[in-house]
Amino acid sequence: MAKKKQFVTAAAAFAVAASAVAPAITADAATQTVRLSSDYVRSGNLDATLDKEYKGSEIHWYKSSVDMNKLGVFQTAKGFVKGKGIKVEKSVRVLNFAQDIQPSEEIVLEQGVPASGLRIQPVLFADGNLYNKPVSVSGFETDKVGEFEGRFTYANKAYGSVTKTVKYKVVATKVELTEVKSEVMDDVLSVTADVKNLKDGEKVELVIYAGRDMNAALPAVEAEVKDGKLTVKSGKLPAGNHSFILRSGEVKTEVMNFVVEAPMVKEVKAINAKEVVVTFNKPVNKETVFSNVSTGTIATGAVTVSRTTASTTANENVTSVTGKLSEDGKSLTLTAASATYFNGTYALTVADSVKTTEGKSFAAFAGTLSVSDAVSPSVNEVTYDTITNEVVVTLSEPVVSVPDVIRLNGNPVSGVTFVTGSNNKQVKFTKPSSIASGTTASVYVAGATDANGNILTAFNGNVTFTNDASSLAVASITQVSSNVAKVVFNKSLASNDSTIDSALNVIKDGAVLNGADVVAALDTSDSSNKTVLITIAGTAPDYFYGTSSSKALTFVFANNVITDVFGKTLAATTQNVTMNKDVAGPTFVSSKIASDNAKIEVELSEEISSSVDATKITVRKDGVALQNAVTAVKKSGAGNEKVLVISLNPADLDANGKLVAGTYSIRLDEGAVVDVNLNKNALITSSVTKTASTSDLTASVTNQGATANVFEVAYNEDVTTASALNVANYKLDGAALPAGTDIYFKGGAANRTVVIALPENSINIGSTATPANARLAVSGVQTGSGKTVVATSGTVLVKDNTAALLTSAQKLGNTLVLTFNENLGTSANDTAIADVLANYEITSGSNTVVAGSGGGAANASLVAGSNNKVQITFSNVTGTNYNASETITIKTTSTGGDVTDANGVHVKGGVTVTAN
């Protein structure tokens, strides 16, 4: 292809004076050749430049005599005058002009997309160069797929015009997928994207590659596309590293990676001196955490908390906690029991017996947290409960006792108590009768402390005592079950069950039902007191229906009997409701292995009766019928009304009373269970799988004998050298082991017992006589088969092994003050000069200070209030060589004498300083 370059206009050539290029017409008599005046060939039009006739006679020109690609020089055009025998010549100079349009690449357009990007095309000029020039376009249509022809035209007054017919293709439009975003929530991948050009009948799919193996695609999931926006969700995915693409036909997005986390503890933090929050990444099965959900009693071993070092303040030694799960099941708030509170460093463990709501174990967790609560409690809000007629004060954290001072409109209130179940974070009192409804009162709260003694920030605010003047009315009446209807009022009721019941009549088939057969009572599950349940007596399953499948009932409420919390009464009200007899039995929803791994749970579509016919329940393991009959009961506890629990005979369980690994098929024949209206289930079949379990790799932590600073970690199986002797897998009080720690397998217990010996100068707590408690945590150690130790921690003894260091000295006449880098013990006190000089080598000038024989005297004592300083006073320097006017140097003796730090460790010997 010819080289492209910037085109330079030839307009300048037009400016040459005509006299310079157009000589007069001349005739050569000898040759009978007529030379016509010179001219330029413009726009590539040679015909326009050559004369048409000579003296009235037509001229025929030999056009081949002019090379139209030869620019910049004059050429001679030759011809003759027809019928005259006269030759003619004319000097012409060809100016640059357009010759052809040459698209640089194949033209491919998308179906349905208007042609674009075609109006600039390479144009070939006579100088052999291509110039990008604007062209006009015609004939490029995109309504059909195929190969067609279109036209380009370049036209310019100076350079001429050229039209080119070109072929082009129209191809089917490709789908565009952009702005692809994803997130993982509860083991489900959600993907969104922007979509363009998706035609009817086309679809976009989500393809997931498990384990990021591009040969292990899971079944594709079709996405929903609406108004150019795509959304799609996967099913539940296993924990691990995965990847995904979106695809539509041959169009695919780039591979994107994502992670589904295995169940784990994400964070542990204290929110105040009484409460610690453990955050999980998945909802927790409350039955695996609590032995009693209502009281918050933690199941034995599920979660443990203990102070890493025992405190002399007894209430800081937290060992017992209660708990409460958040609504989403992912946050467990632990509260220190009784008067105990958190202040210091604590070890916290979560056992792998804690499971998700789907029955998967959380990875065992062992960690530490430090708590130092210096934040004062405060008042979050003050509200008025119209149902109880009480004012409720909500605090930011638990307090030890109710606030000493609470005033409304400046007047003290009485009868302040903690709200039951609020964990001492809420107090309440009855609205004084002197405060009118519909008004706002000022509130002052002060005089309480949290567990760590932080004083409540005084609160000044307001509380509004709502007074709703609107009428009390029935908002709706709906059927709950065959013989139960639900009435919802527009406001909270003050009337009790007896009053509500007395105000109601129910009419069936034109007759009022016997009052004893109709019971109306507040719905205890609705704390707003807006809901009333009406139960109509009768024998299930027919109740009051007789042979009919439905009945029209009229509910009549007496005038001005039922009262709301604002004192408004319900006017006479009548509403009709058609009740339908329940004839459908419970249906299957799901089945799973119970959290204790010993039972099977089947969830039905509705509440079932306590009457279960276990003879109609069959369980098979791996397709083989069990030798013994099963038992089955309705699961106890609130929220479990739809759950059937099937227990196998102990002979069919393992030695630990657990289900043996395998697949269990469950068959509930008709009538195995009935709902509360005695409707039987139809045949139900299901299956669950119990995965094989292996014994856990566990570790126990102790001191080696009674030796402080030397620990032993014993494993119940052989562990790998690389993991067991990796100091990173051990933490002391939550921190990495000190540099220089010696770690090795115990003799005679290779690959079973690890010895950890702390280096010198690594510990500065715990006296040599009474070592301190510390917490050694273990995690990440593995067996050769890849089994990982259950994270745990244990209490060990540590003692100070860091010698105090003499850092400086000050001379004040006959007195020296020595400074050490930590506090010293009372052993630093000496009354005799000989004892002082046994601990310190003192030089005065070039002489060594001695006890002397002339009555030299000196003593040493800790400086009051600064136990890291020792004052040496020479009360008599006779014969000692001590001269305060000379340079005095002090050196701790090689053994450090009998001077020790506060924990009984001898000071470092051989350290010299000069008194300033």
Question: For the chain (length 916 residues), average pLDDT per consecutive 10?
Answer: 42 39 46 90 93 94 92 94 93 96 92 90 95 96 93 95 95 89 93 90 93 90 94 90 94 95 92 95 92 90 87 91 95 95 91 84 84 92 91 96 95 95 94 91 95 93 90 96 96 95 96 95 93 95 93 97 94 96 93 88 95 96 91 90 96 87 93 95 92 73 88 94 94 89 90 95 87 86 85 85 95 96 94 94 95 87 94 94 95 86 92 94
- Separation CA 466–CA 633 (nearest Å): 48
| Model pLDDT, residue 112 | 81
| Model pLDDT, residue 334 | 97
Output the CA–CA distances (angstroms, integers) from residue 714 to 216, 220, 478, 675, 757, in the order listed.
41, 49, 65, 54, 15
Helix (H, G, I), strand (E, B) or coil at 573: strand
- Separation CA 442–CA 722 (nearest Å): 67
Q: How many CA atoms lie within 13 A of 861 on its CB side?
A: 9
- Separation CA 116–CA 132 (nearest Å): 16
What size, in residues, is the chain? 916
| Model pLDDT, residue 704 | 85
| Model pLDDT, residue 7 | 44
- Separation CA 138–CA 120 (nearest Å): 13
- Separation CA 162–CA 152 (nearest Å): 8
Please state whether the peptide bond connecting residue 403 to the residue before it is cis, i.e. omega within 30 degrees of 0: no
Contacts of 640 by beta carbon, 8 Å cutoff, 6+ apart: 634
Helix (H, G, I), strand (E, B) or coil at 366: strand
CA 212 to chain centre: 22
Q: Kindly list the strands in the beta sheet with 857-863, ordered across the sheet, starting from the edge strand earlier in the chain.
A: 806-812, 815-820, 866-876, 857-863
Output the CA–CA distances (angstroms, integers) from residue 134 to 274, 565, 633, 662, in the order listed.
79, 82, 86, 77
Answer for the pair 849, 843: CB distance below 8 angstroms, yes or no. yes
Which of 573, 606, 331, 365 has the alpha carbon at shortest distance from 476?
573
At 279, the amino acid letter reads: T
Domains of the chain by start residue, with CATH: 11-94 (no CATH), 98-171 (2.60.40), 176-260 (2.60.40.10), 269-371 (2.60.40.1220), 379-464 (2.60.40.1220), 474-580 (2.60.40.1220), 589-690 (2.60.40.1220), 699-798 (2.60.40.1220), 806-914 (2.60.40)
Instruction: For 575, list phi and psi in degrees, rounded to 5.
Output: -140, 140
Buried b (16+ CB within 10 A) or exposed e, 277-310: ebebbbbbbbbbbbeebeebebbeebbbbbbbbe
| Model pLDDT, residue 536 | 96
| Model pLDDT, residue 32 | 86
Answer for the pair 855, 879: CB distance below 8 angstroms, yes or no. yes
Strand 107-110 to 160-171 pairing: parallel
Query: ∠ CA(438), CA(439), CA(440), 5° rounding?
Result: 135
Contacts of 524 by beta carbon, 8 Å cutoff, 6+ apart: none
At 332, the amino acid letter reads: L
